[in-house]
Amino acid sequence: MAQDIQFHYFHGRGIGEPIRLLLVVGEIEFTDRRYSFDEYATMDELKAKLPFGQVPALEVDSVFIAQTDSLMRFAAKLADLYPYDALRAARSDMIVTHQADIHSAISKMSFDGVPGAPGTNMVPEEERNQRIGMWFESTLPSLLERLENLAGTGFMVDSTLCWADICVFNRLNQLLDIDETLLAGKFPKLRSVYEQVAALPRVCWWVDEHTDDYPRGSAIPPA
């Protein structure tokens, strides 16, 4: 029996995009409900229903589920992209957690406090770009090298597509928006994963449908 699935999050990719991508790749029908920050601020009725009063959240047959990691695993299982084998599952969890740490680092550099906390403001653009630029040079290469070393044969865990590949694709996309040469001449396994996921018909369709979120479109980064 088909489930009524609604995804609640802001406009743009943010931390919600891997959840959307997992549902899209798995051909799981869902309603993509997007809000501006101003709209969400006034949605007291919705926020009262959310387990922690925040998005992203999935509404499945009127039952609300929250917390990004839980949502990604749920979506991955619906899409049959979560490994059944316990060891493969653990490896995929490890990879997904590591790529999420990269996003957290960028978020921390973009705010003058804890992102999302009351009283926290975004750092001025010039200072933010300077912080991120220095981090790209000093820290990011070693983090990507660890991901490269974890990659399997063909995909991140082994030779089979799983949720870790979708999450890594999404993270690399975020990084490539900042530096399109990021994978040029290095990290061949990560580049291969990126190219394979980018070539999936459902991903191509999603990117083409959301050009505001994907300014580079389906372009493969320079070799």
97-122 per-position pLDDT tens digit: 999 988 888 877 776 654 454 445 67
Asked if 194 and 182 count as a contact pair (C-beta separation under 8 A), the reply is: no
Asked whether residue 56 falls in the same domain as residue 118, the answer is no
DSSP state of 124: P
Domain residue limits at 59 = 5-78
pLDDT number for residue 65: 97
- Quick check: is 106 in a domain? yes
What CATH number is attached to the domain comprising 108? Answer: 1.20.1050.10
Asked whether residue 71 falls in the same domain as residue 106, the answer is no
Top pLDDT among 37 and 111 is at 37
d(CA 49, CA 105): 30
d(CA 17, CA 13): 5
Burial class (CB within 10 angstroms; exposed 0-12, middle 13-18, buried 19+) of 65: middle
Residues 6+ apart with CB under 8 A from 107: 115
Task: Give this prediction's pTM.
Answer: 0.92
pLDDT number for residue 88: 97
Give me the residue label for tokens 């694709």: 169
- Quick check: is 174 in a domain? yes
- Quick check: is 212 in a domain? no
Helix or strand run (H / E) with residue 31: strand 31-35
- Nearest of 213, 116, 146, 200 to residue 174 by alpha carbon: 213
159-195 per-position pLDDT tens digit: 999 999 999 999 999 999 989 999 999 999 999 999 9
Top pLDDT among 178 and 87 is at 87
- Quick check: is 205 in a domain? no
43-52, 118-127, 157-166, range with the lowest pLDDT:
118-127
